[in-house]
Amino acid sequence: MVVNDLERKITRIGQSYGVTIPLEMLKENGIDPGDSVVVEGKDGEISLRKSRKVELPKGISSDFFDVLEETVQEHDEAFKGLVDH
Annotate the chain with three-state secondary structure: CCCCCCCCCCEEECCEEECCCCHHHHHHCCCCCCCCEEEEEECCEEEEEECCCCCCCCCCCCCHHHHHHHHHHHCHHHHHHHHHC
CA 56, CA 69: separation in Å to the nearest integer? 16
**Predicted local distance difference test score (pLDDT) of residue 57:** 85
Please report, for the chain, the start and end positions of each structural domain, with discontinuous segments joined by +: 11-84
* Strand pairing class (37-42; 45-50): antiparallel
How much is the pTM?
Answer: 0.53
**Predicted local distance difference test score (pLDDT) of residue 18:** 94
**Predicted local distance difference test score (pLDDT) of residue 25:** 92
**Predicted local distance difference test score (pLDDT) of residue 38:** 93
Residues with pLDDT less than 70, the chain: 1-3, 84-85
**Predicted local distance difference test score (pLDDT) of residue 60:** 85
CATH number of 11-84: 2.10.260
